[in-house]
Amino acid sequence: MKQKLIAGNWKMNGSLEANDALVRAVAAGMQDAKCDVALCVPAPYPAQVQMLKAGSKLDIGAQDVSQHAGGAFTGEVSAPMLREFGVRYAIVGHSERRQYHGETDAVVAEKAKTALAHGVTPIVCVGETLAQREAGQTEEVVKRQMAAVIHVNGHCISEIVVAYEPVWAIGTGKTATPAQAAEVHALLRKQLLAASAHAGRVPILYGGSMNAANAASLLAQPDIDGGLIGGASLKAPDFLQIIAAASA
């Protein structure tokens, strides 16, 4: 059985002082972890976290990556740049990027492709809004979003990470029930396996308000291979409790 992956997404939070305390506490508390752990930090901080995590099993992640490898793209951060700072993962297609920055399925697919080409593992986010769920469109939406990534990256789709993040459960305190989450994870697994016989090794994370209280019940479900953790990743005790649940 593959190890679970717990990835913290700090979003636009952090400071040199706060990061120091948080990373040191997480690194010290996860020494016996039996899962993979990553911290997806804002763009200014990979160098700091790289130094703080020395000697620990923590991996570094970015919250976004450009679809371009370099050039005249002011404000963008490329995958080769991230690799120089020891970044292993990059979130692509987070619902906040889709909503506030107009990222399309096609752009998300290209970002995943560029990340893979330069040794960065994309954490590809898919998920439906509340309106789409209530209209019975969950399957249609997540399959469309996933299909775009498979179409562009089919030859190496088994190298990605997927995160199912029901948009209605992000930062709202609402969470999909374990059964609701498992249903969508099973759907995504079937779609991935249809694209590649090796896609069984793709971790599919749950990313909708997983916290210390509900982590164990969610992580016990079939095809839920970890979590993409928002607010709880900013609190070392809560984040460590989720890591413990994934290590059980």
For residue 25 the two structure tokens come to 């506490």
> How far, in Å, are 21, 165, 241 from residue 212 at the CA level?
20, 17, 6
> How far, in Å, are 33, 38, 70, 136, 218 from residue 5 at the CA level?
11, 8, 30, 29, 13
Beta strand pairing status for 87-92 and 121-126?
parallel
User: Is 174 marked as binding a ligand?
Assistant: no
**Tokens 């970002």 map to which residue?**
111
165 is catalytic: yes
User: Is 119 marked as binding a ligand?
Assistant: no
User: Is 168 marked as binding a ligand?
Assistant: no
Stated as kind and residue range, the H or E segment containing 51 is helix 46-52
The SS3 call for residue 40 is strand
Catalytic residue among 103, 110, 165, 185, which?
A: 165
User: Is 13 marked as binding a ligand?
Assistant: no
Catalytic residue among 94, 96, 128, 185, which?
A: 94
Evaluate whether 137 touches 143 at the Cβ level (below 8 Å): no
User: Is 19 marked as binding a ligand?
Assistant: no
Catalytic residue set: 94, 165
Detail the residues annotated as belonging to a binding site for substrate: 9-11, 171, 209, 230-231
Detail the residues annotated as belonging to a binding site: 9-11, 171, 209, 230-231
